[in-house]
Amino acid sequence: MTEAERLAQLFEQEERLQFTTFDNETALALGRQMLDAAADRGLAVTISIRRNGQRLFHAALPGTSADNDGWIDRKSRVVDRYGHSSFLIGTQFRANGGSFEQHSRLDLGEFAAHGGVFPVLVRGVGPVGTVGVSGLPQAEDHAFVVEQLERFLDS
């Protein structure tokens, strides 16, 4: 898959995976679903769900460390700044012939355009938070979040 094809796929995911409302109970239900799925698969991931900067759900499975918290925070800052998934932003920089690290002009200690954090999008409103994981390779982090959002929004 080319970067342009991947970019189109990532934009399509954001258009499709939107909530009608998003409150604390929604965050907790989604977080529990993600935690159960990750635990069932034996994944060493940290899960974080935020709304308007408030962390509503956070869990760290065995095999994770404080480094995973740092990665989620850095990827979440990218989503907060750009309004798109951290994987989409990194892909967009690559599709334009560069890299986030080279061209964003942001502090890389504070921002990371690596896959794993997706915007919480409310239809008709826009981004209101983030849902993310850290612990797998970036494409797998992103795929896990997308899979869980698909499952949650289809239920």
pLDDT recorded at residue 107: 94
Q: What percent of the chain has pLDDT over 90?
A: 97
Selection from 52, 61, 44 nearest residue 22 by Cα = 52
Domains of the chain with CATH codes: 3-154 (3.30.450.150)
**What is the pTM (predicted TM-score) of this model?**
0.95
pLDDT recorded at residue 1: 81
Q: Is the pLDDT of residue 84 over 90?
A: yes
Beta-bridged to residue 121, according to DSSP, are 127
Please give the Cα distance from 22 to 41 (Å, whole number). 27
Please give the Cα distance from 147 to 126 (Å, whole number). 20
Residue with tokens 């981004």: 127
> If pLDDT is split at 50, 70 and 90, which confidence band does 118 have?
very high
Please give the Cα distance from 85 to 63 (Å, whole number). 25
> If pLDDT is split at 50, 70 and 90, which confidence band does 151 have?
very high
Mean pLDDT, the chain, rounded, equals 97
- How many residues in the chain? 155
pLDDT tens for 4-32 read 899 999 999 999 999 999 999 999 999 99
Average pLDDT on 126-148 reads 98
pLDDT recorded at residue 155: 79
pLDDT tens for 32-62 read 999 999 999 999 999 999 999 999 999 999 9
Answer whether 6's CB lies under 8 Å from 113's CB: no
